[in-house]
Amino acid sequence: MEDNNGHFSSRDCIIQLISTRMASRQAMQRLLRDSGAGITFEMLQIMSCLWTEQGISQQTLAVRTSKDKACLTNLMLNLEKKGYVCRREDPKDKRNKLVYLTDEGEAFRRWISPKLSAYYTRLDEILGKDVIKQTEKLLKDLQHAIETY
């Protein structure tokens, strides 16, 4: 991000980061649409969290997916209607609901996983492992700088 005077701008870097995030989201939405997945990118984010950890609270899901409470509630209702998730009362705190994948949610995971793997494998092939590793480190450094500002 070099200007006419040869200077680099953190603002331009942030703009590129946002553009990259949008492109990534759109590519995943296309993959979901073209494969007939029947879910949105946001629903996939929730499902993906549950693929790695079952029985987590809605609050934890909200934090991990950067969703507000109202948005998460709507997503949960839609995923429940599809039969992919269920919510159960937390035995330790009756005010909290814990979220689990259903058998249908697990079947969906098995169905979509090869498509997601192919997507990420293609990115690996295009960019190469070294570039991906370096980019991840730079993004973590940028996140840290922003969070500690």
Which residues is 57 bridged to in the sheet? 98
Rg (CA), the chain: 18
69 occurs within a structural domain: yes
- Say which residues have a Cβ less than 8 Å from residue 98's Cβ, sequence separation at least 6: 55, 56, 57, 87, 88, 89, 90
Separation in Å, CA 20 to CA 17, 113, 148: 5, 23, 23
79 occurs within a structural domain: yes
For tokens 């969906």, name the residue: 108
2 occurs within a structural domain: no
Predicted confidence at residue 1, as pLDDT, reads 46
Q: Summarize the confidence of residues 95-105 as an average pLDDT.
A: 93
118 occurs within a structural domain: yes
5 occurs within a structural domain: no
Q: How many domains is the chain built from?
A: 1
Query: Beta 56-57 vs 93-101: how paired, if at all?
Result: antiparallel
pLDDT in tens, 20-40: 999 999 999 999 999 999 999
pLDDT in tens, 117-146: 999 999 999 999 999 999 999 999 999 999
46 occurs within a structural domain: yes
Domain that holds residue 124: 10-147
